[in-house]
Chains A and B, each alone.
Chain A
């Protein structure tokens, strides 16, 4: 009997160990992401987080889940210029991709304060300006659902076996963040080319790649590195890289101004030099995440390249009129360039080669309900 009990105890310990010892499956050369010490990965949390991610009951009126604005087939964006919250309020900005968010040093379009997915998740859940999920003041409704729903009753106990009352916003957020950390994409034609499959890219795409990484076009300064953004961090990083850039989208009144509901980092710091500074998002899967820029004001990849070729956008009339190429806060890397028709189509072909079809359909990220 004692022996049997020991065997059971050993088996349980092994299961518990396996649960805590999450295995990342990453290609060679990709560093481990940063995982907060107080929220280690586990398969239980990831599975629970996936359910929470797709559960509309966790919004104020049952209208939206995380997945409403982060649609897998669109690389976890929503195809809208600006996101729409549960109550119909239009967000000033578009939904960002969640692909490889685990390596994002700073979260959201322009916020240097929010640097974990745990902290970020609270903004759509409880934010009021604008209302996204609309749960501010409703945390007791939220936790009641978690403690009463059959699936969540089991899943929270399994994911947080040491908590006497595991049905908390904190644990929900830990689970959501754990799930989002698993949305990993390193299997685009570009990645396969890098791994030695010379046939993975066409000749045009290779020419486009050379252009992308050239000093002439400067794309890679902001969209560089293994995740095609300079806002990248990982477990071995010593100095945190933080990239926010004014790319000359606006220059209202020739004073550098951006539209008042979208001033970028300036909104947080109040420093003029931060006017219009936004994060350079990853370009992975960018071919399926149109429209582009923080406010969705550029419709296609071709127009995005046109914007950078001009070195900023000229808006000739209306309340936002101004020449963005003369914005005094514009990044030194947005200087403009000339492209032949062939070069333009090569560059677009290369950017399209950053699409990883597998992440768009992988069942482990899909709706579990």
Chain B
């Protein structure tokens, strides 16, 4: 309810817990320094897929106070708890994609002097194992559903060369079924990202797919993939780039995949 009032009255409003301002967190996709798309190649590499959820988004003030950024409702991309970013346009090599793209998270936060950004990749645990056919956007897209693990793909990304390529489906793994009929996954695989300095309005989050596939040979003619399974050795390098321990699923390092750039 808060967010709807805020949207109507735009930018600065008196919300439920004091005044709120709307903030945009834009994302850009890079391969090294260059933009990467479905229809153009950089270093012989083209985008085939990039869609991921973010949640638990916070901005940090100069005196290190963390404040929640609440995504505003959006019929396609956001609910109050989770947002979907989608960089594949269905063109070129993105053969199983959709035309719609989304490169920004929009949320409400109290006004302040913010200097850093934190967020997590993935779907919050309490939403991850609910019936996806009854979910609202952005949790209602079958391309993000992971039915065999009764959860969601948190991130799906892929690149392709001429006769080679790599894709990753990241999601919670090492799962058990409780006697109550719910799923509990021991490896949560939700990367935790901290970007500092990050100034909202001035800065953009750059996601570098070259970092994600560092350690994967994209030129040896042997395509490979990772779907977060315990025996998949191809997962180890991309998991490291996402700052996750491949065996426990815990965040153990700062992901190298994300960095801050100036908004153009």
Tell me the A residues contacting B by CB distance below 8 Å: 108, 111-115, 119, 122-123, 126-129, 135-139, 168-170, 173, 240, 260, 263, 266-271
Contact = CB atoms under 8 A, between A and B. Distances in A.
A269 B231 CA distance: 11
B149 A113 contact: yes
Interface of B: 96-98, 132-134, 141-143, 145, 147-150, 169, 173-177, 179, 181, 183, 186-187, 225, 227, 229-232, 247
12 contacts: A113-B175, A114-B150, A122-B132, A123-B148, A127-B147, A136-B142, A137-B98, A139-B142, A169-B142, A260-B232, A268-B148, A269-B176
Contacts of A128: 169
A298 B227 CA distance: 28
Top 6 A-B residue pairs of the complex, sorted by shortest distance between their CB atoms: A270-B230, A270-B174, A137-B143, A170-B133, A122-B147, A126-B142
Nearest to B232: A260
Contact of A119 (B98, B150, B176, B232): B150
Given A137-B97, A139-B142, A267 B230 contact: yes
Per DSSP, chain B at the interface is: mixed
A114 B179 CA distance: 13
Nearest to B90: A137
B51 to A, nearest CB: 10
A111 B183 CA distance: 12
Contacts of A173: 133
Contact of B183 (A113, A127, A138): A113
Contacts of B232: 260
Interface centre among A115, A129, A138 (most CB of B within 10 A): A129
Given A123-B148, A169-B142, A260-B231, A268 B175 contact: yes
A138 B142 contact: yes
Nearest to A142: B142
B177 A113 contact: yes
Contacts of A122: 132-133, 145, 147
Nearest to B249: A270
Contacts of A267: 229-231
Interface centre among A126, A136, A138, A268 (most CB of B within 10 A): A268
Per DSSP, chain A at the interface is: loop
Contacts of A260: 231-232
A263 B174 CA distance: 13
Contact of B96 (A108, A137, A263): A137
Interface centre among A108, A113, A123, A139 (most CB of B within 10 A): A113
Contacts of B230: 263, 266-267, 269-270
Contacts of A135: 142
Contact of B186 (A111, A123, A270): A270
B201 to A, nearest CB: 34
A270 B147 CA distance: 18
A268 B149 contact: yes
Nearest to A126: B142
Contacts of B176: 112, 269
A169 B147 CA distance: 14
B75 to A, nearest CB: 14
Nearest to B133: A170
Interface centre among B96, B150, B230, B232 (most CB of A within 10 A): B230
A268 B183 CA distance: 11
Given A112-B177, A136-B142, A139-B142, A266 B231 contact: yes
Contacts of B145: 122, 126, 136
A119 B173 CA distance: 18
B142 A123 contact: no
A108 B147 CA distance: 12
A115 B175 CA distance: 14
A271 to B, nearest CB: 8
Contacts of B181: 115
B187 A123 contact: no
Given A170-B133, A268-B175, A114 B142 contact: no
Given A113-B183, A267-B229, A136 B148 contact: no
Given A113-B150, A115-B177, 19 more contacts: A113-B148, A113-B177, A113-B183, A115-B181, A123-B148, A126-B142, A136-B142, A137-B141, A139-B141, A139-B142, A169-B133, A170-B133, A263-B230, A267-B230, A267-B231, A268-B174, A269-B176, A270-B174, A270-B186
A168 B140 CA distance: 12
A136 B96 contact: yes
Interface centre among B132, B177, B181 (most CB of A within 10 A): B177
A171 B211 CA distance: 42
Contacts of A271: 174
Contacts of A112: 176-177
Nearest to B156: A128
